[in-house]
Amino acid sequence: MTDPAAAAPGPLAGLVVADFSRVLAGPYCTMLLADLGATVIKVEGPAGDETRHWMPPAHEGEATYYLSVNRGKRAITLDFADADDLAAARALAARADVVVENFKPGGLDRFGLGYDTVRAANPGVVYVSITGFGPDSSLPGYDVLAQAVSGLMSVTGSADGPPSKAGVAIVDVVTGLHAGLGALAALRHRDATGEGQRVEVNLLSSALSALANQSGAFAVAGVVPGRLGNDHPSIYPYGPFPTAEGDLVLAIGNDAQFARLCGVLGIPDAAADARFARAAGRSAARGELRPVLESALAARPAAEWERLLGDAGVPCAPILDIGGAFDRAATLGLEPVVTSGPPHGSPGGMPGVRHPIALSATPASYPLAPPAPDADRAWVLGFLG
């Protein structure tokens, strides 16, 4: 049975993804695969994906949390305690090119849906397991726990304030990206050898990788970074500064940019000052440099400085809210909002955020809006024969 959603095939057209995941990391991964053309079948238990109930906010009675990460999928509700439903789940795993699951370690084994059992029936399967803290930990995989344990919270927030989490479940998002990358790498290996394999990702390892220079400081030099608020540990100025009206973020990454900044601000002596002329000196003397910059920036509002500094090639930006960010992306021609659907015969479609990867020959497409619970039971069972 062909998938009518594949009218505009993407680079992953023809791949079947069995999505046994829920909440964020797994669904985000599978949505990105769906945007690129994969046929994604979302399997939910009788209670449904938890995020269907996480509101406010809501859109027409549905949680925007769920809607934000589940477009492009077919949905079926399967109760593994029911013999027929369990048989359908096993048939789907046996048919799939990719299985994505984020049950507790070993949670699917008792249903005959663990990796070894699925691989026996489907040797080419790419089986992606997402856990919170690895296969040997039973600690639940909640993003805020990973932010806490990974050290992310320890470097987020003001220096004299408490640790803080990021404003989004960023570890879940990064883990979802790693899961998708792992799946594509395993599919490439399968194309070359015919062999499937297991792909394992976890929130903690993903967070440590995403901490990049901060975690690298410890791994390489044994340095334990601390909180610096909006400051950067190695670069200055690199963060928000007050102006006559509103804050402006400066991102000065080299000495030439600093010289241009000082020229536009009318403080050329600062660029020639031995304390500030080089990046390491600016970072060390930030307490002395900041009042010099703040005094100069107080002469004009942020919007005017953004124009003047931008014309001079000095990296800077205003601090926008989410609505302002969408407006800015639109003015830059990035078309941040797309419409998926219509959802299963309903008029219109569902707005959402554009897929972040632009492909010149096989662009992302959005044929299906996020599905209602069990919306595609007949289609899925027909697909499985």
Give the list of residues 6+ apart from residue 162 with CB closer than 8 angstroms, or none. Answer: none
Q: How far apart (Å, rounded) are the C-alpha atoms in residues 296 and 176? A: 43
Max CA distance (Å), the chain: 79
What does the CA dihedral 249, 254, 259, 263 come to, rounded to 10 degrees? Answer: -30
Check if 19 is active-site: no
Q: How far apart (Å, rounded) are the C-alpha atoms in residues 104 and 112? A: 15
Q: Is 7 exposed, middle or buried (0-12, 13-18, 19+ CB in 10 A)?
A: exposed
Residue tagged active-site, from 172, 247, 269, 376: 172
Provide the b/e sequence for 23-43 (b: ≥16 CB within 10 Å). Answer: bbbbbbbbbbbbbbbbbbbbb
Length of the chain: 385
18: nearest Cα among 325, 384, 272, 385: 384
CB atoms < 10 A from the CB of 113, how many? 23
Catalogue the active-site residues. 172
